Amino acid sequence: CAMSRTRLLCGANVQDVDGVIGKTVGSIREEYSDILNIPPDAQVRIGGTVADNSHVILEGETFEFVKTAGEKG
């Protein structure tokens, strides 16, 4: 049985990965933070909609870690 690949994006960094369907965004953030250089405060957008760390990855989803420009903190 072939696994579906999921596309992860963070700026110019792109990874097509296997085995993430059914995992949460938070676990993906931890697992790929170094590989994709994900800022700790980056938002996650799935299909243009903001998702939180408890969102479970579904087949066919592409998601992007986005650092919101202009935030002060």
DSSP string, 43-58: EEEETTEEE-TTPBP-
Mean pLDDT for 39-60 is: 92
DSSP string, 3-71: PPEEEEEETTEEEEEES-TTSBHHHHHHHHHHHHT--TT-EEEETTEEE-TTPBP-TT-EEEEEPPTT-
CA distances from 17 to 29, 30, 36, 43 (A): 13, 14, 12, 20
Give 4's pLDDT tier (boundaries 50, 70, 90). Answer: confident
Give the pLDDT confidence score for residue 3 in this predicted structure: 58
Give 70's pLDDT tier (boundaries 50, 70, 90). Answer: low
